[in-house]
Amino acid sequence: MENKKKMVFNVLFLVLIFAGTVYGVFHGEDIGQISDILQTVNPWWLVPGVACVVVFIWGESIIIHYMMRNLGVKVDRGTCFLFSSVGFFFSCITPSASGGQPAQIYYMKKKKIPIPVSTQVLLIVTITYKLVLVLLGLGIAIFGQSFIHTYIDDVQWVFYLGLVLNVVCVVGMVLFAFHPSLAKAFVVNGSRLLERMKFLRHKKSREEKLAASMEKYNQTADYMVGHFGMLVVVFIITVVQRFSLFAATWFVYKAFGLSGSSAWLIILMQGAIAVAVDMLPLPGGMGISEKLFMEMFLPIFGSTLLLPGMILSRGLGYYTELMISAIFTVVASFVIGRRSE
């Protein structure tokens, strides 16, 4: 019942933010003109844009399958794609993408994957996912001052805020992932605190389960530390995964028949937006992402094509991801549930 209430709240929150974003973006605009412009788009250029979104979702499933296999957990690639879809769907509809990994752990548990193992794997996935943004952000901040002044000068504070939040997040997660004693102290002391606050009843069985879980977590963490090459492979796959999503905007650019701006520049600009909004407490950075796009991409799309370009870019980068992951989340709820029965 509690989970259903949370789901209803998240959906209502998403709808409210979406409605506010639509109003803010389209208020005072000529909808008819925007519609006419969108009808001139070459749809064949949008096909590889959709493919970029699929690669983005599939990329995480490749990482999950690769790490599970190395940890001795047998799970097929199709199921890993469902795990990935579940994560992206719940990340899309919850503030700060907070619902993705708990949902993935839930479905992994249905497949008899130990929670300490799934937690460690998903923690590494998140660390590398955010580490790509941190390195990209630091690269822009250190070597791209001309880029900042040209494209994000008026909103650079949002970029730097997002960069700092991502750095803090990555540092915290690295400590948690590779210092099992710290993780154990956090979990055990947190459980005892909840007992003292009367949120949990004291149960010896819970302590025994926690001890067993943390022992498994320690073994997994030790394995990760001893297999640095595996982490490098995960990082490389994550770079491809993240940049594939950023590239979707370049295909939107080409769909309007535009030229003159390189694919790398547009990917870099979309990456800067991701750095800025990734840690903000809004589903998919909704509202802020649109504002940043309108500020940054004006020199690229021009005033006439800017809003239509933003509609298609966000349509591919967020709403297509939401729809695809939603479809396969429904599939997961049937397939994984039935297989576990």
Which sequence spans correspond to the domains of the chain?
42-340
State how far the Cα of 264 lies from the Cα of 293, in Å rounded to an integer. Answer: 16
Angle between helices 321-340 and 46-70 (to 10 degrees): 40
More confident residue, 28 or 111: 111
The radius of gyration of the chain's CA atoms, rounded to the nearest angstrom, is 21
Within the chain, residue ranges assigned H as helices are: 2-26, 31-38, 46-70, 77-93, 100-110, 115-143, 145-151, 156-178, 180-196, 204-226, 228-255, 263-277, 288-296, 298-314, 321-340
What residues contact residue 41 under an 8 Å CB cut-off, 6+ apart? 255, 256, 308, 312
**Closest residue by Cα to residue 241 from 46, 50, 51, 60:** 60
pLDDT at 235 over 60: yes
More confident residue, 102 or 301: 301
200 DSSP assignment: S
More confident residue, 220 or 259: 259
- Which pTM was predicted? 0.81
Q: Report the sign of the C-alpha dihedral through residues 319, 324, 330, 336, in that order.
A: negative
State how far the Cα of 281 lies from the Cα of 322, in Å rounded to an integer. Answer: 17
Which tens digit of pLDDT belongs to each residue from 157-187? Answer: 889 998 999 898 888 777 776 666 666 666 5
Q: Looking at residue 93, what is its pLDDT?
A: 75
Q: Looking at residue 290, what is its pLDDT?
A: 82
